[in-house]
Amino acid sequence: MIVKNLVLCPHIFIVRSVYLAVALTVLFSPSCTSQSAQEPTGKPIVETLRCSDPDSRDQDDMCLWIHLTEPAQSTIIASDKEANKLFIYDLEGRTIQVIPAKHPGNIDARYDFPLGKENVDIIAFNQRDDPRILVYKVVVSTRHLERVDNDAITTGENYGGTLYHSPKTGKYYFVATSESGQVEQYELSDDGKGKVQGKKVRSWKIGKCEAAVADDQTGKIYIGEENKGVWEIGGEPEDAAPGKLVIKLGDNGLNGDVEGLAIYHLPEEIGYLIVSNQSRSNFKVYRREGEHIFVGTFAVEGAKETDGVDVINVNLGSRFSLGLFACHSAEGSSCPVLITTWESVAKAFQPELKISTEWNPRK
């Protein structure tokens, strides 16, 4: 059902799985302020896929790894800060590997990292206790992870972060955020012995921050300051810091605890920047390009107090042929990762969000 009578403001939508119809409800008053925004309502719905292991406790963040030749064999890698583990799932939600990890934070993936005599796909995350950055490579034949850092990429106190692959120099970086607001950027490289080393190249200060996402096409990094909004900063070490606040808390119903960021890529460097509105258990969508104009709001039923999010537009096979959206949920004792098709997100909007499988982070 679509409610058509209110058209003065962006809409909030409920996203159903591919097995159920999409319910849409316009829930903003004409003032479009956070005070007037109401929460989504609707019948309970079932997500497309739920990733939850018997040992999972709080899968705070996740990333997608895309298989080089068989996209349907791609994996979802969840970082569980309470279980002190990483969980690797296939696209049916089955656990294929569990790795011990001491209080892992935000996790991210990049491709074709030069290591030794080969290029490898890497998964990296910040370790909150004994603060450092850990790096794993993906063993494609098994889809398992194998640690490859030199155990010496120590950081200051950290909370979250993101990988960044520079379109300007081809260098790889990890940007670590913190509760104190100190942000640190580390260049990752081969140490000459087949291990990944890290060197701090700059740091700057904002407020308490966890969420971060890098746009490897435009050379921009976005950081969520939990009680202020989203910062945009150039990703090169010489770029001016701290950048500029491009999305402000309080506008368009965005409340405190900005703790999840993701980018949906479209051709010609356009697309969407998705922000987890944790305190309202929904997701804000903004234009990726230009002034990041607000597009609207959607919610995945069952996704409560969401922290980490990820999105991919790649064709991952019949179930996710138009990509997928993944989010953490503070639900139950396992805090599952909930997966829905990107198509169901896109079709929840009027006009619909764009869908394209043209861009691929592996290319």
The average pLDDT across 184-212 equals 97
The amino acid at 163: L
Cβ atoms within 10 Å, residue 195? 16
Per-residue pLDDT reduced to its tens digit, 217-227: 999 999 999 99
For 182, the token pair is: 């100190």
Going by pLDDT thresholds of 50, 70 and 90, the confidence category of residue 363 is confident
**Which residues have a Cβ under 8 Å from the Cβ of 3 and sit 6 or more positions away?**
24, 25, 26
Phi, psi of 106 (to 5 degrees): -80, 145
What b/e sequence results for 87-119 when a residue is b if at least 16 CB atoms lie within 10 Å of its CB, and e otherwise?
bbbebebebeebbebeebbbbbbbbbbebeeee
Residue 358 domain-assigned (yes or no): no
Q: Which CATH number covers residue 330?
A: 2.120.10.30
Please give the helix or strand (H or E) that residue 346 lies within, else none: helix 342-346
Closest CA to 255 of 272, 285, 274, 275: 275
Instruction: Give start and end residues of each alpha helix (H) in the chain.
Output: 342-346
pLDDT above 90 covers what percent of the chain?
Answer: 77
Is there a domain that residue 4 lies in?
A: no
Residue 269 is part of which domain span? 12-346
Mean pLDDT of the 202-228 span: 97
Prior bond to 351 cis, omega within 30?
Answer: yes
- Per cent of the chain over pLDDT 70 is 87
pLDDT tens, residue by residue, 55-73: 999 999 999 999 999 999 9
- 230 belongs to a structural domain: yes
* Residue 183: other Cβ atoms inside 10 A: 27
What confidence score (pLDDT) does residue 347 get? 86
The predicted-structure confidence for 348-357, as pLDDT tens digits, reads as follows: 888 999 999 9
What tokens does 33 get? 């302020």
pLDDT digits (tens, 9 = 90+) for 274-283: 999 988 888 9
Identify residue 279 by its one-letter amino acid code: S
Q: Which is nearest to 354 in space by CA: 268, 290, 283?
A: 268
Q: Three-state DSSP class for 103?
A: coil
Instruction: Output the pLDDT for position 26.
Output: 32
Instruction: Of 11-15, 147-151, 299-303, 318-322, give the lowest mean pLDDT range.
Output: 11-15
pLDDT tops 90 at residue 180: yes
Residue 355 lies in a domain: no
Q: Are 223 and 177 in contact (CB under 8 A)?
A: yes
Token couple for 109: 């993936």
Tell me which H or E stretch contains 88: strand 85-89
**The amino acid at 233:** I
Residue 240 inside a domain? The answer is yes
Q: In this predicted structure, what is the pLDDT of residue 39?
A: 40
Task: Collapse the DSSP code of 244 into the 3-class scheme (helix H, G, I; strand E, B; otherwise coil) and give the result.
Answer: strand
What's the pLDDT score for residue 60? Answer: 93
Distance between CA 207 and CA 225 in Å, rounded? 6
Q: Which residues contact 284 (CB under 8 A, 6 or more apart)?
A: 247, 252, 253, 254, 274, 275, 277, 294, 296, 297
Which two three-digit tokens encode residue 103?
């209080």
Q: Is residue 227 part of a domain?
A: yes
Establish if 156 belongs to a structural domain. yes
DSSP assignment string, 297-344: EEEETT--S---EEEE-S--SSTTTT-EEEEE---TTT-PEEEEEHHH
3-state class (DSSP) for residue 71: helix
pLDDT of the residue at 318: 87
Tokens of 86: 């990483």
CA 130 to centroid of chain Cα atoms? 24
User: Is residue 361 domain-resident?
Assistant: no
- Output the pLDDT for position 35: 33
Number of folded domains that form the chain = 1
* Average pLDDT rounded to a whole number, residues 125-148: 97
Only one residue has tokens 């607001």, namely 181
